[in-house]
Amino acid sequence: MLKRLPMALKTLIVDDEPVARRVLREELETVGGVDVVAEADNGPLAVELIGKYQPDLVFLDLQMPGMGGLEVARSIQHGAHLPSIVIVTAYDEYALQAFEAGAVDYLLKPAGHERLAQAVERVRRLRPHQTVQKLAQLQEVAERPSAEPPKRIVGKAGEEYFILSAEEILGFQADGDLVWIISGKRKYLAMQTLKVLEERLRNTSFRRIHRNALVNVSHVRKMSALSSQRWLITMSNDQEFIASKRQARSVRELLNW
């Protein structure tokens, strides 16, 4: 019995640069599994074509005159048709905003064959569940209009971007100009400074325990006195941090130790 091949994803390419659209289209032809049904060179036309063609997948540039890619992504979130959005841009500092606007992947130009193939496969894997998940999210928001949305942090590993929930993050550690996100499984490069992350995570279980470290108190496993002024804080993955007596006290108070 022959194995049935998956249907090609109806795809829209949105970029104000003709050369960029042509290069992306040619790369997608080598990836396979997509059917480029239309192209748009601006935001309003993109929104119009999404309504007209109802694509499964939209490759969307961020920097466009007038209506940018983030505005396009946000404008279709409550529409009847919900395509999967993959951002393709030359700028890496907008990853957080892109994921919060509903993107499922974030590619940096020039996106090569391997990364495009990964993005298409991710969309194909997530696509059957996306509409159901979106409806559930809208219902939850409607039922709890005053609830604060869960904190999400974007981390980078290699050329891929990952959406992490605050609950799964053990801490953040600054190393010079870089900030590392520490989870139970691996480390990711943060897209924001430690100061910005601390502000975003205010009133949560995260506490600054060093000028270079911010930890999730929910993942603290052990605290040991090193001296009268310093404490060793051990996380659930055995990562260790040194905190001053004053900083350690705030962690202990939150844990009711």
Tell me, what CATH number does 231's domain have?
A: 2.40.50.1020
Task: Identify whether residues 131 and 158 lie together within a single domain.
Answer: no
Task: Identify whether residues 117 and 162 lie together within a single domain.
Answer: no
User: Is 60 exceeded by the pLDDT of residue 163?
Assistant: yes
User: Is 50 exceeded by the pLDDT of residue 8?
Assistant: yes
Per-residue pLDDT at 252: 67
Task: Give the range of the structural domain holding residue 123, as residue numbers without chain letter.
Answer: 9-142
User: Is 60 exceeded by the pLDDT of residue 58?
Assistant: yes
Return the closest-CA partner of residue 49 out of 81, 88, 20, 74: 81
Question: Which is higher by pLDDT, 147 or 155?
Answer: 155
Distance between CA atoms of residues 12 and 253, nearest Å: 53
Question: Which is higher by pLDDT, 252 or 187?
Answer: 187
Mean of pLDDT values over 76-103: 86
Q: How many residues comprise the chain?
A: 257
- Strand 34-40 and strand 9-14: pairing? parallel
Task: Identify whether residues 25 and 136 lie together within a single domain.
Answer: yes
Mean of pLDDT values over 223-237: 85
Mean of pLDDT values over 128-149: 46
Per-residue pLDDT at 12: 97
Contact 98, 87 (CB under 8 A): yes
Task: Identify whether residues 183 and 120 lie together within a single domain.
Answer: no
Per-residue pLDDT at 200: 87
Give, to the nearest 10 degrees, the angle between helix 18-31 and helix 113-143.
100
User: Is 80 exceeded by the pLDDT of residue 5?
Assistant: no
Edge-to-edge, what's the strand order for the sheet holding 220-225?
220-225, 230-235, 240-244
2 domain residue, yes or no? no
| Confidence at 1, pLDDT banded by 50, 70, 90 | very low
Per-residue pLDDT at 136: 42
4 domain residue, yes or no? no
CATH number at residue 15: 3.40.50.2300
Task: Identify whether residues 160 and 131 lie together within a single domain.
Answer: no
Cα separation values, 13 from 31, 34, 39, 57, 92, Å: 15, 11, 5, 9, 19
Task: Identify whether residues 60 and 80 lie together within a single domain.
Answer: yes
Mean of pLDDT values over 92-112: 88
Q: Which of 33-42, 162-171, 222-231 is the least confident region?
A: 222-231
Per-residue pLDDT at 133: 46
| Confidence at 92, pLDDT banded by 50, 70, 90 | confident
To the nearest whole number, what is the mean pLDDT of the chain?
84
Task: Identify whether residues 14 and 111 lie together within a single domain.
Answer: yes
Q: Which of 63-72, 124-133, 188-197, 241-250 is the least confident region?
A: 124-133
User: Is 80 exceeded by the pLDDT of residue 145?
Assistant: no
Mean of pLDDT values over 1-27: 85
Task: Identify whether residues 137 and 237 lie together within a single domain.
Answer: no
Distance between CA atoms of residues 41 and 65, nearest Å: 10
Dihedrals φ, ψ of 57, to 5°? -140, 135
SS3 110: coil
147 domain residue, yes or no? no
Domain end: 142, 162, 184, which one?
A: 142
Cα separation values, 169 from 82, 215, 239, 252, Å: 29, 8, 12, 19
Task: Identify whether residues 214 and 245 lie together within a single domain.
Answer: yes
DSSP secondary structure code for residue 89 in this structure: E
Cα separation values, 207 from 2, 185, 196, 210, 257, Å: 57, 21, 13, 9, 15
Distance between CA atoms of residues 212 and 201, nearest Å: 16
> pLDDT tens, 26-51?
999 999 889 999 999 999 999 999 99
Per-residue pLDDT at 126: 82
User: Is 60 exceeded by the pLDDT of residue 16?
Assistant: yes
Task: Identify whether residues 53 and 109 lie together within a single domain.
Answer: yes
